[in-house]
Amino acid sequence: MTAQANTGSRARPAHLGLAVLLAAIGFTLVAPTRLDIAILLREVMRGIGVTSLAAAGFLSTATVLGDGVTEIFTGHLSDRWGRSNTLAIGIVFFSVFSILSGFIASVTGLYIVRILLGVGQGIFLPAYFAFLGSIHVQRRGLLLGALGGLFTVGLALNGPLTGAMFKASGAWQTPFVVYGVFGLALALGIYFVGRGKGRIYETKVHELSTPDAHPGSWTAWLKSRDMLLLLGTMAFWGLTQYGFLGLRIAYLRSAQHFTLADAIIVASIGGWISFGFSFVAGWLSDIIGRRWALLIFGAVSLITIVPFFTMPQTLLSAVVLVAVFQAANGCFFPIGVAYAQDFARADALGAHTGAVIGIGHLAAGFSGLVAGAIAGHFGYASLGWYFAAASVVMLAALALTRDPRFRKSDKPVVPRTRLAS
């Protein structure tokens, strides 16, 4: 299928660079607005009078429940609405509900507001990754790995910034409001950069045909064995990654008796190392294929998760284990998106992207509840075995997929690429 011609593909490099920069900052902001509550979970729960660990765990990941439900549909809609408006609307939506999070005094109200915050992120994310995936097909893994890895930068900044704002103000509500106000300003920047004849966010510069790219239906991936296996993989990724992110600081503070400052150091260093690794992971997936890259990283994450929850931790050992697991397991997100886009037509990148990240975030929305309930009933050590079992399922599903970029000869099949005239 021929790529759609548009003037966005002829944009000046500076214009494209600015568009990527603003959208990337918006993606970085997703992590603090989504997981700032995990940093101050004890303070938030004390502030609203809730003591249940399961309730706290669900609150820490409820945002991604809104993400998952929304992304499944908005991925396709972003292909039709146009990405510029979709990106701006999404950031405005999740920023408004970030601000509102600071004004809610009941656990039920906070659940609702955090889920709606996730709805805004679910509008933004498929358009963001569809935009990135259309820029350079042959280096899609590197591009999505690098810019998708900015989520871990957001995680790394989340701890120090959220902790500093709480310490300076003495109120757990402060970070929610500050991040939201910043997001509203950023949305204006994206809106104005995306206007004009260039329509920079609508760039589609390639044509792509694969055996699994069924023309004429945005739900064609439902007929693809490989996409269904990938969806299963991403569902279990959501359970592991967000269950881990939602409770790792609470675990270090409660079970390992770390101070808040030390737990934040562990999370921050882990985030920065994960970001650096995302470049390597994305590049490697372009060279050896998404399937083999994900199998390798899944095996590494499987090896490291059990010791973190079952053995006594020092500051150094916690940093190492968190960094390795977060890097290896976390790269499933950008590389999984790249894998899904490899199966897609040029005009259906949003639909494939929304399907994969939607199912991952839908599972992630319940991950805190499940992980919190397991930890509450059986102790934190049981989480290591739970996450390990989920990782085994991920590896089994991945092993059954077939990378569309490689044939029996194991030679990469490079999609045809051209600039729209």
Residue 20 and residue 207: Cα distance in Å, rounded? 21
- Residue pLDDT, tens place only, 306-358: 999 999 999 999 999 999 999 999 889 889 988 988 887 766 777 888 888 88
Q: Is the dihedral of CA 148, 93, 33, 391 positive or negative?
A: negative
Tell me the percentage of the chain whose pLDDT exceeds 90.
32
Residue 182 and residue 188: Cα distance in Å, rounded? 10
Q: Angle of helix 41-48 relative to helix 225-254, nearest 10 degrees?
A: 80
Instruction: Report residue 48 as tokens.
Output: 């609203």
Instruction: Report residue 212 as tokens.
Output: 């699994």
Residue 18 and residue 7: Cα distance in Å, rounded? 16
pLDDT at residue 11, rounded to an integer:
55
The amino acid present at 61, given as its one-letter code, is: T
pLDDT at residue 204, rounded to an integer:
54
pLDDT at residue 410, rounded to an integer:
43
- Residue pLDDT, tens place only, 102-150: 888 788 888 899 999 999 998 998 888 888 877 776 778 888 888 887 8
Instruction: Report residue 390 as tokens.
Output: 């989920």
Q: Angle of helix 150-169 relative to helix 13-39, nearest 10 degrees?
A: 50
pLDDT at residue 152, rounded to an integer:
78
Higher-confidence residue of 276 and 419: namely 276
Q: Dihedral (C-alpha) 87, 126, 403, 138: value to the nearest 10 degrees?
A: 0
Q: In sequence order, which residues have a C-beta less than 8 Å from that of residue 302 and are 6 or more positions away? A: 388, 391, 392, 395
pTM, entire model: 0.75
Region 274-290: mean pLDDT is: 89
- The pLDDT-based confidence of 69 (bands split at 50, 70, 90) is confident
Say if CB 34 and CB 62 are below 8 A apart.
no
Say if CB 394 and CB 234 are below 8 A apart.
no
Mean pLDDT value across the chain? 82
Region 72-78: mean pLDDT is: 77
